[in-house]
Amino acid sequence: MLNKAGKNRPTLLLWILLFLFVVRVASQLLVAIGWGWFLPPMHHWYSGLLPYRYLLPVQIVIIIVYAEVCLSFTRGQGFLVAPRRTLGRGLLIFGSLYFLGMLVRYAVTMAVYPQRRWTGGSIPIFFHLVLSAFILALGQYHYVNGPRVGLASSLCR
Protein backbone atom coordinates (compact mmCIF):
# COMPACT_ATOMS: atom_id res chain seq x y z
CA MET A 1 0.00 0.00 0.00
CA LEU A 2 1.42 3.37 -1.01
CA ASN A 3 1.21 6.24 1.41
CA LYS A 4 1.13 9.86 0.23
CA ALA A 5 4.93 9.80 0.04
CA GLY A 6 4.93 6.57 -1.98
CA LYS A 7 6.18 8.21 -5.16
CA ASN A 8 9.02 9.88 -3.28
CA ARG A 9 10.45 6.75 -1.70
CA PRO A 10 14.14 6.26 -2.51
CA THR A 11 13.66 2.51 -2.99
CA LEU A 12 15.87 2.06 -6.07
CA LEU A 13 18.65 4.22 -4.65
CA LEU A 14 18.64 2.27 -1.37
CA TRP A 15 18.83 -1.06 -3.25
CA ILE A 16 21.73 0.22 -5.38
CA LEU A 17 23.65 1.39 -2.31
CA LEU A 18 23.00 -1.94 -0.58
CA PHE A 19 24.14 -3.82 -3.69
CA LEU A 20 27.39 -1.84 -3.78
CA PHE A 21 28.07 -2.69 -0.14
CA VAL A 22 27.27 -6.38 -0.69
CA VAL A 23 29.72 -6.44 -3.62
CA ARG A 24 32.35 -4.89 -1.35
CA VAL A 25 31.81 -7.44 1.42
CA ALA A 26 31.77 -10.34 -1.04
CA SER A 27 34.91 -9.08 -2.77
CA GLN A 28 36.79 -8.71 0.49
CA LEU A 29 35.68 -12.20 1.53
CA LEU A 30 36.96 -13.61 -1.78
CA VAL A 31 40.34 -11.98 -1.12
CA ALA A 32 40.37 -13.24 2.47
CA ILE A 33 39.78 -16.88 1.44
CA GLY A 34 42.27 -16.69 -1.42
CA TRP A 35 39.82 -16.73 -4.34
CA GLY A 36 40.10 -13.03 -5.15
CA TRP A 37 43.37 -13.15 -7.08
CA PHE A 38 41.90 -10.62 -9.55
CA LEU A 39 41.02 -8.12 -6.80
CA PRO A 40 43.20 -5.69 -4.84
CA PRO A 41 45.12 -7.30 -1.94
CA MET A 42 43.61 -7.51 1.55
CA HIS A 43 45.45 -4.48 2.94
CA HIS A 44 43.56 -2.31 0.44
CA TRP A 45 40.17 -3.49 1.73
CA TYR A 46 40.31 -2.42 5.33
CA SER A 47 42.16 -0.18 7.71
CA GLY A 48 42.96 -2.90 10.21
CA LEU A 49 41.20 -1.10 13.06
CA LEU A 50 39.01 -4.16 13.52
CA PRO A 51 40.38 -7.63 12.81
CA TYR A 52 38.61 -9.20 9.82
CA ARG A 53 37.16 -12.02 11.93
CA TYR A 54 35.16 -9.34 13.78
CA LEU A 55 34.63 -7.03 10.82
CA LEU A 56 32.85 -9.61 8.65
CA PRO A 57 30.04 -10.31 11.18
CA VAL A 58 29.52 -6.55 11.61
CA GLN A 59 29.30 -6.16 7.83
CA ILE A 60 26.76 -9.00 7.66
CA VAL A 61 24.61 -7.31 10.32
CA ILE A 62 24.74 -4.06 8.34
CA ILE A 63 23.65 -5.94 5.21
CA ILE A 64 20.74 -7.55 7.07
CA VAL A 65 19.56 -4.23 8.55
CA TYR A 66 19.91 -2.36 5.26
CA ALA A 67 18.17 -5.20 3.39
CA GLU A 68 15.26 -5.05 5.82
CA VAL A 69 14.98 -1.31 5.18
CA CYS A 70 15.05 -1.91 1.40
CA LEU A 71 12.42 -4.65 1.65
CA SER A 72 10.19 -2.38 3.73
CA PHE A 73 10.44 0.36 1.13
CA THR A 74 9.78 -2.12 -1.67
CA ARG A 75 6.65 -3.36 0.11
CA GLY A 76 5.63 0.18 1.04
CA GLN A 77 5.06 -0.71 4.65
CA GLY A 78 6.99 -0.93 7.85
CA PHE A 79 8.30 1.25 10.64
CA LEU A 80 10.87 3.07 8.51
CA VAL A 81 8.52 3.71 5.60
CA ALA A 82 6.11 5.95 7.51
CA PRO A 83 7.72 9.40 7.12
CA ARG A 84 8.83 11.09 10.34
CA ARG A 85 10.38 14.51 10.05
CA THR A 86 12.21 14.29 13.39
CA LEU A 87 13.74 10.94 12.43
CA GLY A 88 14.74 12.45 9.10
CA ARG A 89 16.47 15.36 10.81
CA GLY A 90 18.41 12.98 13.07
CA LEU A 91 19.41 10.73 10.17
CA LEU A 92 20.47 13.73 8.08
CA ILE A 93 22.64 15.08 10.90
CA PHE A 94 24.22 11.70 11.63
CA GLY A 95 24.63 10.85 7.94
CA SER A 96 26.17 14.24 7.17
CA LEU A 97 28.68 13.94 10.02
CA TYR A 98 29.50 10.39 8.91
CA PHE A 99 29.92 11.46 5.27
CA LEU A 100 32.02 14.51 6.14
CA GLY A 101 34.11 12.42 8.53
CA MET A 102 34.96 10.06 5.69
CA LEU A 103 35.87 12.97 3.40
CA VAL A 104 38.21 14.28 6.09
CA ARG A 105 39.60 10.76 6.57
CA TYR A 106 40.29 10.57 2.84
CA ALA A 107 41.99 13.98 2.79
CA VAL A 108 44.14 13.12 5.79
CA THR A 109 45.02 9.70 4.37
CA MET A 110 46.07 11.25 1.06
CA ALA A 111 48.10 13.96 2.85
CA VAL A 112 49.88 11.51 5.15
CA TYR A 113 50.25 8.67 2.62
CA PRO A 114 50.54 10.30 -0.83
CA GLN A 115 51.65 6.96 -2.31
CA ARG A 116 48.08 5.70 -1.77
CA ARG A 117 46.65 8.24 -4.14
CA TRP A 118 43.97 7.58 -5.52
CA THR A 119 42.92 4.05 -4.80
CA GLY A 120 45.40 2.51 -2.37
CA GLY A 121 43.67 2.17 0.99
CA SER A 122 40.66 4.18 -0.10
CA ILE A 123 38.31 1.23 -0.66
CA PRO A 124 37.04 1.30 2.94
CA ILE A 125 36.56 5.06 2.80
CA PHE A 126 34.57 4.83 -0.43
CA PHE A 127 32.27 2.19 1.04
CA HIS A 128 31.79 4.19 4.22
CA LEU A 129 30.60 6.94 1.88
CA VAL A 130 28.17 4.40 0.38
CA LEU A 131 26.87 3.49 3.86
CA SER A 132 26.50 7.14 4.81
CA ALA A 133 24.73 7.87 1.50
CA PHE A 134 22.17 5.19 2.46
CA ILE A 135 21.57 6.97 5.77
CA LEU A 136 21.35 10.35 4.01
CA ALA A 137 18.83 9.04 1.44
CA LEU A 138 16.71 7.58 4.21
CA GLY A 139 16.97 10.79 6.22
CA GLN A 140 16.07 12.94 3.21
CA TYR A 141 12.99 10.82 2.57
CA HIS A 142 11.80 11.18 6.16
CA TYR A 143 12.61 14.87 6.46
CA VAL A 144 10.96 15.91 3.18
CA ASN A 145 7.87 13.70 3.53
CA GLY A 146 7.36 13.74 7.29
CA PRO A 147 4.55 15.84 8.69
CA ARG A 148 5.67 19.19 10.02
CA VAL A 149 4.97 19.15 13.72
CA GLY A 150 5.16 22.53 15.34
CA LEU A 151 3.24 25.09 17.31
CA ALA A 152 1.03 26.09 14.36
CA SER A 153 -0.02 22.54 13.50
CA SER A 154 -0.57 21.74 17.19
CA LEU A 155 -2.94 24.69 17.57
CA CYS A 156 -5.01 23.60 14.56
CA ARG A 157 -5.92 20.25 16.06
Range of the domain at 65: 6-155
Selection from 2, 4, 50, 1 nearest residue 146 by Cα? 4
- Could you give the number of structural domains in the chain? 1
Report the predicted TM-score, pTM, of the whole model to 2 decimal places: 0.87
- Is-contact 41 89, C-beta < 8 A? no
| Mean pLDDT per 10-residue interval, the chain, length 157 residues | 60 98 97 94 83 95 98 93 95 98 90 73 90 98 88 48
* Residue 131 counted as domain residue: yes
Count the Cβ atoms, other than its own, within 10 Å of residue 24: 18
* Residue 1 counted as domain residue: no
For 7-145, where are the alpha helices, taking DSSP H only?
11-32, 52-75, 85-112, 123-145
- The distance from CA 2 to its chain's CA centroid, rounded to whole angstroms, is 24
